[in-house]
Amino acid sequence: MLMPSQGVRILVATKPVDFRKGHDGLAALVQSTLAEDPFTGTVFVFRSKRADRLKILFWDGSGLVMAYKRLEESTFTWPAVRDGAMTLHRAQFEALFAGLDWRRVRSLEVRRPAVAE
């Protein structure tokens, strides 16, 4: 699986989308519905109406990449359905992608190390 690298922005479209859409259709949704640029490297995550499928769209510098995942025996835990998108950090995205409850994942607070004298 292509996991986003640390520091990459990850946006989840909270409303279900038509899963017949491909690269171009999802890129158009990013522009029209989310008011975002699909060609920035941001990872966009889309959900199906049944909540058991997701699609990921991102620009890798040379083309649009789309990934699709279907859970066989359960559904993904999704944010509440509303207009727009919400941001996830990488650990939350990895939990969502694995079919786990991403709401239970918290970022560690990392402090800069002190300079030794």
Backbone phi, psi, residue 67, to 5°: -125, 150
Q: How confident is the model at residue 72 (pLDDT cuts 50, 70, 90)?
A: very high
- Is residue 109 domain-resident? no
Residue 96 clears pLDDT 80, i.e. is over it: yes
- Is residue 4 domain-resident? no
Indicate whether this model's pTM tops 0.75.
Answer: yes
Across 55-81, b (16+ Cβ under 10 Å) vs e yields bbbbbeeeeeebeeeeeeeeebebeee
Counted domains in the chain: 1
- Is residue 20 domain-resident? yes
Of all residues in the chain, the percent with pLDDT exceeding 70 is 91
- Is residue 115 domain-resident? no
